[in-house]
Structure 1
Amino acid sequence: MTWQQFKQQYLVRFWAPMPAVIAAGILSTYYFGLTGTFWAVTGEFTRWGGHLLQLVGANPETWGYFKVIGLQGSPLDRIDGMMIIGMFGGCIAAALWANNVKLRMPQSRIRIAQALIGGIIAGFGARLAMGCNLAAFFTGIPQFSLHAWFFALATAAGSYFGARFTLLPMFRIPVKLKKVDKASSVKQDENQARLRFRIGMLVFAAIIGWGLLTMFNAPKLGIAMLCGVGFGLLIERAQICFTSAFRDMWITGRTHMAKAIILGMAVSAIGIYSYVQLGVPPKIMWAGPNAVIGGLLFGFGIVLAGGCETGWMYRAVEGQVHFWWVGLGNVLGSTLLAYYWDDLAQPLATNWDKVNLLTSFGDKGGLLVTYLLLALSFAAMLLWEKRFFARKAKRDEQLIAEAA
């Protein structure tokens, strides 16, 4: 294979979602084994909000939530912080490779309001549940934490209500038709594409070099950054978005992304299990009402906003201004939860047990239960898709019959 063929096939074209999500599951497993933590982003976004408050003279380090997740140092000193920097670097490099960077403004103020309010709701819900679509779902379930199952089911329910809510007439934007003399060309500017590809390669080389140099003094931080680059490449090139996985299931009946996510978790679970047997402790969170309420809020919020914690990151660097507002909302919502945590913690979270399925059912039993639940989830996706399209076909037949 020549360089030009490799470039077009793997760096410029979008990647198939199914293998990319499975690859993300495998990478998250190694990330856990090498750094001792799971792939997560909203905890660090909450710390960013805390640092901003410190800049204006507040003392968020005294809040109970930051005593749980920590606020010491800076993003450069934390595994999550370096991983997210790597993710942004990977997203930017991938977007530039494909010349997929263009400033795109929201179509209306309604969309900006949706992005900001939805982002706040999702950020608040994610941190109430101690994790977003990653830590409390995609990487939480393979960690054998019961709270992740509560969160996943609640997120599905929340996304259903969010999908129905966003279909209301108030969210419909009038379409303005423009008269044109001729069709606009869709051909890319080859010189621009070539320049951006080179800049993308420089960004990629710089972030990889930064990660490798960091490994000499702080191995885990360097590994976190390099893994973050991998995560960033995967989510941008394959356009991995958990929001679409939930929303499409309810609106269009398509479950391809949802099934890919289940398979990704299935692949990750056996790897996490192996590391746990080697002595790396899994991350287990409270299986209380916080996981359910947080999941409902998160599911509703991501659909209202139009993007989840991974989705807004790669779309923001692609120039979609709408998702800048989603990201801002995420930081604001998660910081707001941190402020109210002391009032909510005991009744909703800390008074409840942290349930580890490997402890409750034994090592092999916990692994088996996890795979049984994943299998049931996959079967439910197949059943839902079949029923959805069967009903759609029946409605179409009725409309045809009425028209005739």
Structure 2
Amino acid sequence: MKSFYEKLFQNYWNPYLVMALAGVLSALYFGITHTVWAVTGEFTRLAGHVMALFGADVSNWAYFNLIGMKGTTFTRTDGWIVWGMFAGALIMVLLNSNFKITVPRQKRRWLQAFTGGIVAGFGARLALGCNLAAFFTGVPQFSLHAWMFMIATAGGTFLGAKLVGMSWWKGKPAVTKGAIARKAAKPSAVQPILGGAAAAGYAGLVVYFFASGHKMLGVAALFGALFGILIERAQICFTSAFRDLWISGRATMTKAIIVGMAVSSVATLAIILLNGMEPITKVAGLSTLVGGMLFGLGIVMAGGCETGMMYRLMEGQIVFLPVFIGNVIGAGALAYAWDHLGVYNALVKSGSKISLIDAMGPGAALAATLIVLAAAFIVAVYWQKHYRFKNGFKKGAAAHVAKTTANR
């Protein structure tokens, strides 16, 4: 039992298996609820509720009418997906005795995290989805906008990698003389107990939802916790999936996410065909490209995407609290700019919803999706093998490695 516990809670899980499982779960969630695994839509609604508390009348804002504001965050399935992810991640952190309050050494990181969160939140909602709804769950929905968002996000993270590599952004590192001896921290005896209690309490909440007739809330709370467990146990972060390509050439997370989308595409199409469901298709247009670029830039500035922010905050890395707050503010700012500042007319109105299933047929859409994902996987493998540490962003030791490699 001790060995099993250590493997389950004290070792991180294989990211390929985790993302494949996440792909299956996201397809099942779509089949049950007719909606997708997403988070920033709820961030936007939270911003609307906060603005309403301060006296703003958001009832006629076009963006809030588009995404819907019925109920509260605790009476919506989208709300419990978010809070369930936080809960699932926290439970696993505690069971692993991995909770520890940490603060950044440089004060500038607070502002960088907050600013990055705002930029990412604004960009995500401009593109009608973040790394989940407009990417990981968007591609399996066979929506063209997801592919456009993915390409734009890659470009945004490329610019972000350049930005965070600049000396004025990094600042002066704190240097201390001599080596600092550190004792290995002993695993906490209390945290696993708290984690077990939290798991039992949350399980009780899920049971309550089902028993009281709120079945969809129960489904959302359950799936949210499962998603939170998965992202924490495999340290899933879409920021690193892109950023690491530009900085170090490492592509493990990139390949794992591609595998997850491939599995989810097959499972989602099966659910669509078996149940006669319509896939969720979002507007593909200039807004998708601009939003994706801003999102990619923002997540690198912040140091993490929405999923990465969630489990890192639950680990006690409180610098990700301003990332979360910034995400909500950025999403709310987009909701205001949508019609009040003419963003819809300038960037969205000219776009259109394009479903690959409608355009190509189910079989061809799946084949095309899998072929492109396979090509992306091959490119990621090649990139990691041939371009690691060769792009000029890394300095110091990494630059030395690149020079040494080139001279061989």
- TM-score tier (shorter): over 0.9
For 1:102, give the aligned amino acid. K
Question: In terms of mean alpha carbon deviation, does 240-249 or 274-283 score higher?
Answer: 274-283
Structure 1: distance between partners of 2:63 and 2:88? 30
Superposed CA RMSD in Å reads 1.7
CA drift of 1:242 comes to 0.5
Name the residue aligned to 2:328: 331
CA drift of 1:146 comes to 0.2
1:88-129 CA-to-partner distances (Å, cap 9, x unmatched) read: 110110111111111111222221111011110000000000
2:136–2:261 contact (8 Å) kept in structure 1: yes
1:361-391 CA-to-partner distances (Å, cap 9, x unmatched) read: 0111111111121112112212322330495
1:317-366 CA-to-partner distances (Å, cap 9, x unmatched) read: 11111101111110010100000111212332243210000000011111
Structure 2: distance between partners of 1:255 and 1:150? 20
Name the residue aligned to 2:20: 22
2:163 to 157, 165, 170: 165
1:48-68 CA-to-partner distances (Å, cap 9, x unmatched) read: 011101111111222000000
What TM-score does the superposition give when structure 2 sets the normalisation length?
A: 0.93
Name the residue aligned to 1:396: 404
2:141 to 128, 143, 149: 143
Question: In terms of mean alpha carbon deviation, does 332-341 or 98-107 score higher?
Answer: 98-107
Name the residue aligned to 1:287: 284
1:50–1:61 contact (8 Å) kept in structure 2: no
Structure 2: distance between partners of 1:182 and 1:284? 54
Residues 261 and 181 of structure 1: CA distance in aligned 2, closer, same or farther (over 3 Å): closer
Name the residue aligned to 1:374: 373
For 2:329, give the aligned amino acid. L
For 1:261, give the aligned amino acid. I
Structure 2: distance between partners of 1:185 and 1:390? 32
1:25–1:264 contact (8 Å) kept in structure 2: yes
Question: In terms of mean alpha carbon deviation, does 127-136 or 111-120 score higher?
Answer: 111-120
2:390–2:402 contact (8 Å) kept in structure 1: yes
Structure 2: distance between partners of 1:391 and 1:316? 32
Name the residue aligned to 1:345: 344
CA drift of 1:6 comes to 1.8
Structure 1: distance between partners of 2:276 and 2:60? 33
1:213 to 194, 208, 211: 208
Structure 2: distance between partners of 1:22 and 1:96? 25
Structure 2: distance between partners of 1:374 and 1:149? 10
2:248–2:389 contact (8 Å) kept in structure 1: no
Structure 1: distance between partners of 2:219 and 2:163? 42
Structure 2: distance between partners of 1:386 and 1:10? 31
What TM-score does the superposition give when structure 1 sets the normalisation length?
A: 0.94
For 1:372, give the aligned amino acid. I
CA drift of 1:177 comes to 3.6
Question: In terms of mean alpha carbon deviation, does 211-220 or 59-68 score higher?
Answer: 211-220
CA drift of 1:281 comes to 1.9
- Structure 2 SS opposite 1:150: helix
For 2:382, give the aligned amino acid. L
1:37-57 CA-to-partner distances (Å, cap 9, x unmatched) read: 110000001100111011111
Structure 2: distance between partners of 1:71 and 1:195? 40
Identity %: 43
Structure 2: distance between partners of 1:340 and 1:88? 29
Q: Does 1:119 align with 2:127?
A: no
Residue pairs, 1:3-402, within 5 angstroms: 4-178=2-176, 183-188=181-186, 190=187, 193-216=188-211, 217-277=213-273, 278-342=275-339, 343-389=342-388, 391=390, 395-397=403-405
For 2:258, give the aligned amino acid. I
Structure 1: distance between partners of 2:402 and 2:236? 32
- Structure 2 SS opposite 1:259: helix
- Structure 1 SS opposite 2:353: coil
Structure 1: distance between partners of 2:93 and 2:43? 22
CA drift of 1:312 comes to 0.5
- The total of aligned residue pairs comes to 395
1:274-308 CA-to-partner distances (Å, cap 9, x unmatched) read: 11112222110001111111000000110111010
Structure 2: distance between partners of 1:363 and 1:268? 14
Structure 2: distance between partners of 1:258 and 1:114? 25
Structure 1: distance between partners of 2:183 and 2:208? 44
CA drift of 1:179 comes to 5.2
Structure 1: distance between partners of 2:119 and 2:60? 24
1:103–1:318 contact (8 Å) kept in structure 2: yes
Structure 1: distance between partners of 2:111 and 2:201? 36
Which runs of no fewer than 5 residues in structure 1 stay unpaired? none
Larger proportion of helix: 1
- Structure 1 SS opposite 2:123: helix
Residues 167 and 346 of structure 1: CA distance in aligned 2, closer, same or farther (over 3 Å): same
